[in-house]
Amino acid sequence: MSRAPLLPVADALTRVLQSAREPLPQEHVPLAQCRGRTLAQDVSALRTQPPFPASAMDGYAVRAADIANTPATLNVIGESAAGRRFQGKLQEGEAVRIFTGAPVPEGADTILIQENTTSDGELVTALEPETLGRYVRRAGLDFSTGDVLLKKGQRLGPAELALAAAMNHPALPVTRRPRVALLATGDELVRPGEEIGPDQIVASNTFAVRAYAENAGADVIDLGIAGDNFSAIEAAIRAARAHGADVLVTLGGASVGDHDLVQTALAREGMELGFWRIAMRPGKPLMHGQIGDMRILGLPGNPVSAIVCGLLFLVPLVRALSGDPLAGEDRTEVAVLAGDLPENDSRQDYLRARITGTKDGHPLVESFSRQDSSMLRILSEAQCLIVREANAPAAKAGDMCRMLRV
């Protein structure tokens, strides 16, 4: 195995994202299935909203001139409700009972709210004057036909879905979800709930990495657990390709021990190695490569290492394949240290930490004293990772730092 210098984290991320220079193909998907998807094209409004002048309040549609001097009594000539407009035209001295969202009748220019009236059914008395146009939502107040309101690369959340529906789109052009295949490796692993041998442990990494991938927008293919033999690992790699995986994520077996077979198995299946071993802690043995159009991410076997690498590299890769133009953006935040930290060595460090409060408008973060990469309990209690640059000098409580939420 090559012992080239460890690759810096930033360079590793750049190379991972370069493997996703072009997003995946687009497809039209029913609006109800678009949550979390990424738009493949700009989307413009197919209608004007509101399509007519509408009332913003319950009350009476009137002419402002008729209630300039109060009290002023008007004849109530009808009613306008949402979905059922008043069909006539308002004349001088007249009012129409109106409800929120209802079309404002022709001839009316103002809404007199019901709190400022007295009424006996056929007559209404305005107790206070109202300014011209008050409580009238003009046609097109929100948007007009042809307005581009949703942009290519935008991720669709609840507000965007509501907007698309209001724009009258029953389906949207979105990037196909990346297909991410997950393969855990190792004779020592069993699934949760299965019989556990005396020298075995429960496979846990898959569940966290799967959650990160799905939250980022991927469809996940679980290839299960392959034992420490070439035939099992190579069969799983071929299964990933048969499933049309865009990314194969291996968990464990990527180091250099006698039982770490993954890199060799991938090479035997045609992988072109991009890089292996990066200057970070936890997660040094991260591997990246490609077999045809299937990208490979080989994550370490230690649970915290696998999860941190999934957050740092798999999530941006999935977002890039989904067409997100901000996939590689810096997601760290400025924070303040709650305690002292020693100087760092040549690897960029990601310290599990808790947020204990705020200081000067920034989160106050405290590193856990134990940082072993096998300890899931501490990771589950952590709210963030303190990012320590390679060769960073010692830091004092109160110093500024960078943190990444987990």
pLDDT per position as a tens digit, 351-383: 999 999 999 999 999 999 999 988 999 999 999
Residues 155 and 96 in one domain: no
Residues 205 and 313 in one domain: yes
Residues 310 and 228 in one domain: yes
Residue 186 is assigned to a structural domain of this protein = yes
What SS3 class is residue 92? Answer: coil
Residues 20 and 35 in one domain: no
CATH number assigned to the domain comprising residue 67: 2.170.190.11
Residue 96 is assigned to a structural domain of this protein = yes
Give the residues of the chain that fall short of pLDDT 50: 1-2, 258
pLDDT of residue 2: 47
pLDDT of residue 118: 95
Point out which residues pair with 275 in neighbouring strands: 288
Those residues whose C-beta lies under 8 Å from the C-beta of residue 361, and which sit 6 or more positions away, are none
pLDDT of residue 253: 78
Residues 276 and 183 in one domain: yes
Residues 299 and 207 in one domain: yes
Which residue segment(s) compose the domain that 157 sits in?
26-49+142-175
> What tens digit of pLDDT does each residue of 212-250 get?
999 999 999 999 999 999 999 999 999 999 999 999 999
CATH number assigned to the domain comprising residue 199: 3.40.980.10
pLDDT of residue 255: 63
pLDDT of residue 87: 95
**H or E element: which one contains 223?**
strand 219-226
| Cα torsion 22, 27, 29, 31: sign | positive
pTM of the model: 0.88
Those residues whose C-beta lies under 8 Å from the C-beta of residue 257, and which sit 6 or more positions away, are none
Residues 259 and 189 in one domain: yes
Closest CA to 102 of 162, 54, 155: 54
Residues 253 and 281 in one domain: yes
According to DSSP, the β-strands at 333-337 and 294-299 are unpaired
Closest CA to 186 of 305, 307, 310, 301: 301
Residue 154 CA to residue 160 CA, distance in Å, equals 9
pLDDT of residue 1: 43
Provide the domain count of the chain.
4
pLDDT of residue 259: 52
